[in-house]
Structure 1
Amino acid sequence: MIEMKDVGFGYHAGDRLLSGMTLSLQPGMFHFLTGPSGAGKTTFLRLCYADLLPTEGQMTAFGQDLRSLSRDGIAGLRRRVGVVHQDTQFLDHLPVAENVALPLSIAGEQVDMQALRDLLGWVQLAPHARAMPPQLSGGERQRAALARAVILSPDVVLADEPTGNLDWDMSMRLMQLLLELNKSGKTVLVATHDLNLIRATKAQVAARVLRIAGGTLHLAGADL
């Protein structure tokens, strides 16, 4: 689904943040991406949904070279890759339901109100459908962000430190939703620095753990 071969990225010529990355994200896989703060986890995820393009190596998504994609091609890619940002980035003047449905509106698609209600029920936010984002707790905001990320039924779900500002119970509740998505066939990649969260989740799913260190990508050891 997403393939990297010796991929590197740098903002300036000769200044590489990431290099030599080789990875294959296959259908139905669950990956964690870890590494110290500033290692490049967010940059890695941005490459995966073509918010950034590699400056070296080859990267394909669903069989297409990212650097050859037109504007419409990138838009099509982003329909197949849902992203949960650490900063949930809601429009505070719109209620939760409209924020969740925003990707449909942007794509010019009709909003199926029953499907939207079902999705909000899945993330346990049905009672907050008409609430404004500032009224939500941190855990509720992240669950709303997850609902928004999957409303277009993507094949891949990327989550960037989704539990970074949550307590343990809220973190595990969000992880259970991500596990449910994976069990339904979605490929899931979660960037996190929380090793306890990784250990708890690996007890429930055969997750691979990737680590970015020194600007390169490694498969983490089995001791995590």
Structure 2
Amino acid sequence: MKPRAPSGKKSRKRQGADVIELENVGYSYGGGELLGEISVELSPGSFHFLTGPSGSGKTTLLKLCYGALLATSGQVRAFGEDMRRLDRDQMALFRRRIGVVHQDCRFLDHLPLTENIALPLTVSGHDLAGEHENLRELMAWVGLSKRAEALPPELSGGERQRAALARAVIMSPDVVVADEPTGNVDWEMSQRLLQLLVELNRMGKTVLIATHDLSLIRAAKSQVQARVLRISNKRLQLAGADL
């Protein structure tokens, strides 16, 4: 299944609404402020990079965007809805609309790669027999057709990252959030991953990538209109043209 473009059948309420919007958001833990006064809008089909020093709060901000953490102040809206007001079922539906590529790329080591990638379908109750062709196409799209039966410990770093991306988009989400997706791969593989993310964006997906790799950002800006956000001193800034 090469990721599908949006169908365009969104409700009138959602048309034109930002996919994710943070308004004066802060997050504190253990009595200490990790992030504060964060305001940013991710519009449909936009492409964003999030950068900043290690430990600056990039992963925390991503988690606020996809609902793994709730802000301690301010407001986070997802697809026009206040995230704090979503009940359990609504939150589950919201999370299906956001595909996340985690930094640590965790898999179930006893399952072959195909079944690991299909896990979101399994959890959501889809009939895997009916998804066989889609899954085959998705494996080909990320270049892993020949590794379909491999177990996760047998994969290289680049293969694991591509598998993580495939798993993140298998439900055809509206948004793809990637946390340091090229942190453990060489330059050639980082370019391959970037191409996949750019292709997703050209299909209408909103993309948000956290990275410390300025060379990757420069490479992307020659291919796609990307907005670069930087965390500095617990605040979010729009990066200048010095990247």
Counterpart of 1:96 (choices 113, 125, 149) is: 113
Tell me, in whole angstroms, the C-alpha distance in 2 between the residues paired with 1:53 and 1:216.
Answer: 17
Deviation at 1:223, TM superposition (A): 1.6
**Matched letter for residue 165 of structure 2:** L
Counterpart of 1:156 (choices 175, 192, 203) is: 175
List runs of 5+ in structure 1 lacking aligned partners. Answer: none
Determine whether 1:198 maps to 2:217.
yes
The aligned residue for residue 110 of structure 1 is 127
Deviation at 1:124, TM superposition (A): 0.5
List runs of 5+ in structure 2 lacking aligned partners. Answer: 1-18
Tell me, in whole angstroms, the C-alpha distance in 1 between the residues paired with 2:239 and 2:155.
Answer: 35
Tell me, in whole angstroms, the C-alpha distance in 2 between the residues paired with 1:212 and 1:155.
Answer: 25
Runs of 4+ in 1 over 2 A off after TM superposition: none
Determine whether 1:5 maps to 2:23.
yes
The aligned residue for residue 9 of structure 2 is none
Tell me, in whole angstroms, the C-alpha distance in 2 between the residues paired with 1:221 and 1:110.
Answer: 48
Deviation at 1:42, TM superposition (A): 0.2
The aligned residue for residue 98 of structure 2 is 81
Counterpart of 2:50 (choices 12, 30, 33) is: 33
Over residues 38-91 of structure 1, what are the superposed CA-to-partner deviations in whole Å (9 max), with x where a residue is unaligned?
000000011111100000001100111111111111111110000001100100
Tell me, in whole angstroms, the C-alpha distance in 2 between the residues paired with 1:2 and 1:107.
Answer: 23
Tell me, in whole angstroms, the C-alpha distance in 1 between the residues paired with 2:65 and 2:125.
Answer: 24
Determine whether 1:120 maps to 2:134.
no
Tell me, in whole angstroms, the C-alpha distance in 2 between the residues paired with 1:130 and 1:42.
Answer: 31
CA RMSD of aligned residues (A): 0.7
TM-score (norm 1): 0.98
**Matched letter for residue 21 of structure 2:** E
Determine whether 1:209 maps to 2:232.
no
| DSSP-derived class of the 2:133 partner | helix
| DSSP-derived class of the 1:44 partner | helix
Q: Number of aligned pairs?
A: 223
Counterpart of 1:64 (choices 78, 81, 104) is: 81
Over residues 98-137 of structure 1, what are the superposed CA-to-partner deviations in whole Å (9 max), with x where a residue is unaligned?
0000001011112200000000000000111111011111
The aligned residue for residue 174 of structure 1 is 193
Determine whether 1:129 maps to 2:155.
no
| DSSP-derived class of the 1:5 partner | strand
| DSSP-derived class of the 1:28 partner | coil
Deviation at 1:11, TM superposition (A): 1.4
The aligned residue for residue 15 of structure 2 is none
The aligned residue for residue 53 of structure 1 is 70
Tell me, in whole angstroms, the C-alpha distance in 2 between the residues paired with 1:54 and 1:139.
Answer: 33
| DSSP-derived class of the 1:196 partner | helix
| DSSP-derived class of the 1:16 partner | strand
Deviation at 1:218, TM superposition (A): 0.4
Deviation at 1:92, TM superposition (A): 0.5
The aligned residue for residue 43 of structure 1 is 60
Indicate the percent of aligned positions where both proteins have the same amino acid. Answer: 64
| DSSP-derived class of the 1:37 partner | coil
Deviation at 1:12, TM superposition (A): 3.0
